[in-house]
């Protein structure tokens, strides 16, 4: 007769205990069986997890071994076969031919194309070579520093389209853009502090003496601004529209007697006034944060009728009057003969600013017409062109008169905005200094001549 499920369950516990020879009461047999089955299940699951973990480690080991074998094979093949892989490089014959032709130019042809002499170009390659040189890889031979610099100078000098420059130099269109950005950054980072700085020491003495020869005393440079054309930016384009109605960024610069830039501040939108640009510049902070309010060493000051006349900059009517920044009298008022003479003398000495800006834009036409380069890069482009201008002036790389024709041809289209007079000046120490200079100009010049 077959037993029911309950009867089989009641007999399983005692039989299990008797099979294991356990001296336990029959009533605990079922609990012992349940505990044994639970432990068996736990052991089974633990073993399954161990098997899965062992299989995972085995697959990971196989993947690592396969990757190691493949990388080893690739390394051996790269050592055995060093030929170039044509799939990575596109052949560009016309550009290669132009560059080889450019290398054979005489000095006049070279300067006409790149706006710098061959000697200046070689100097730039020497000082910038380590910064613009790229590492050779197994995939391609990098563009040499000479060609990278030539591409950038060509873009500075002619501001051509990337496509035409790419065809001329045998590189890709995107490569031209990348090279211009990289070389521009290298010029600013490596050469700016070396070639652009306010005069000090003997340079300051020479600058004061040079401006004294222009009949203006105690001058360490002239400050001015100019507008650089740009394409309308995507963000806030109206802010960049100047008084003439075209988009621009402002270049504020200090110029010495050699028409070299000693301070450069660029990038503000074209609608900003000259006084606002000045007040946000490091030059302004450097002068105003000093306890004595002077920009240059106070021991260089002169005394005239009990008034201390410091070494200062000179500017036009758009700038504020400061002890460290002099400007002429407004022609809208009735001026005495001494005031007219002072204003004329200051304006004559300040003309070095116009000369410097004319040479800068005549040599580097990228500052003369609208460029499609990103607005965030324009300040570096302007600073790099100013550095190159100083290098050319210092090395005697002369400015050719025919380059002015480029400015004349573009002048009718992009005329510079007129200077807006700054009318917030009030009677202060700066006016006392200016009046003393005005009515004792000849005496101060004679005193400087003696010493």
Question: Which has the higher per-residue pLDDT, 290 or 184?
Answer: 184
Inter-residue contact 249 to 378 (CB < 8 Å):
yes
More confident residue, 78 or 436: 436
CA 60-61-62 angle, to 5 degrees, is 90
Closest CA to 410 of 227, 223, 165, 161: 227
- In this predicted structure, the answer to whether residue 28 has a pLDDT above a threshold of 60 is no
pLDDT band (50, 70, 90) for residue 324? very high
pLDDT of residue 91: 52
* C-alpha 209 chain-centroid distance: 34
- Maximum mean pLDDT: which of 94-98, 156-160, 161-165, 256-260: 256-260
Give the single-character DSSP code of 91.
-
Residue 365 pLDDT exceeds 70: yes
Helix (H, G, I), strand (E, B) or coil at 38: helix
Q: Quickly state the pLDDT bin for 138 (edges 50, 70, 90).
A: low
**The pLDDT value given to residue 34:** 77
Residue 407: pLDDT band (50, 70, 90) is: low
Domain ranges of the chain: 5-80, 89-195, 202-450
DSSP 241: B
The secondary structure of the chain in percent helix, strand, coil, rounded to multiples of 5, reads: 60, 10, 30
Helix (H) or strand (E) segment spanning residue 423: none
pLDDT at 370: 85
Alpha carbons 152 and 175: distance in angstroms, whole number:
11
pLDDT of residue 394: 96
Q: Is residue 352 pLDDT above 80, yes or no?
A: yes
Does the structure show a pLDDT above 50 at 87? no
Higher pLDDT, 393 or 331: 393
Q: Please, which pLDDT band fits residue 271 given cuts at 50, 70 and 90?
A: very high
H helical segments located in 305-374: 337-350, 352-363
pLDDT, position 411: 47
Residue-averaged pLDDT of the chain: 86
Nearest C-alpha neighbor of 367 from the set 239, 277, 266: 266
């Amino acid at each position: 007769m077959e037993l029911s499920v309950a009867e089989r369950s009641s007999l399983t516990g005692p039989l299990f205990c008797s099979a294991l020879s356990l001296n336990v009461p029959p009533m605990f047999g079922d609990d012992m069986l349940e505990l044994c089955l639970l432990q068996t299940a736990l052991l089974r699951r633990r073993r399954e997890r161990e098997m899965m973990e062992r299989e995972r480690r085995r697959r990971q080991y196989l993947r690592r071994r396969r990757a190691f074998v493949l990388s080893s094979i690739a390394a051996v093949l790269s050592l055995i076969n060093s030929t170039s892989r044509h799939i990575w490089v596109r052949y560009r014959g016309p550009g290669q031919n132009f560059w080889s032709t450019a290398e054979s130019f005489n000095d006049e042809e070279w300067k006409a194309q790149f706006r710098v002499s061959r000697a200046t170009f070689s100097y730039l390659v020497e000082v910038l070579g380590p910064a613009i040189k790229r590492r050779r890889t197994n995939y391609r031979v990098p563009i040499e520093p000479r060609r990278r610099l030539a591409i950038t100078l060509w873009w500075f000098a002619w501001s051509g389209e990337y496509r035409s420059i790419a065809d001329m130099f045998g590189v890709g269109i995107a490569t031209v853009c990348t090279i211009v950005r990289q070389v521009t950054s290298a010029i600013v980072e490596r050469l700016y502090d070396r070639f652009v700085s306010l005069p000090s020491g003997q340079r300051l003495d020479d600058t004061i003496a040079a401006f004294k020869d222009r009949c203006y005393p105690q001058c360490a440079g002239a400050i001015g601004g100019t507008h650089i054309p740009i394409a309308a930016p995507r963000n806030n384009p109206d802010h960049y529209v100047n008084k003439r109605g075209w988009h621009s960024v402002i270049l504020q610069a200090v110029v010495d007697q050699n028409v070299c830039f000693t301070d450069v501040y660029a990038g503000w939108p074209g609608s900003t006034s000259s006084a606002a640009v000045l007040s946000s510049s490091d030059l302004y902070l450097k002068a105003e944060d000093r306890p004595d309010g002077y920009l240059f060493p106070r021991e260089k000051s002169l005394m005239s009728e009990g008034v201390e006349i410091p070494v200062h900059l000179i500017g036009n009517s758009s700038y504020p009057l400061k002890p460290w920044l002099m400007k002429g009298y407004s022609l809208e008022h009735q001026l005495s003969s001494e005031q007219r003479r002072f204003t004329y003398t200051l304006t004559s000495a300040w003309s070095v600013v116009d000369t410097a800006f004319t040479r800068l834009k005549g040599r580097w036409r990228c500052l003369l017409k609208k460029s499609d380069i990103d607005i965030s890069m324009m300040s570096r482009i302007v600073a790099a062109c100013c550095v190159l201008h100083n290098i050319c002036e210092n090395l005697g790389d002369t400015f050719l008169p025919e380059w002015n024709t480029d400015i004349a041809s573009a002048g009718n289209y992009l005329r510079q905005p007129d200077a807006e007079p700054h009318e917030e000046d009030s009677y202060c120490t700066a006016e006392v200094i200016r009046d003393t200079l005005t009515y004792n100009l000849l005496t101060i010049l004679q005193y400087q001549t003696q010493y």
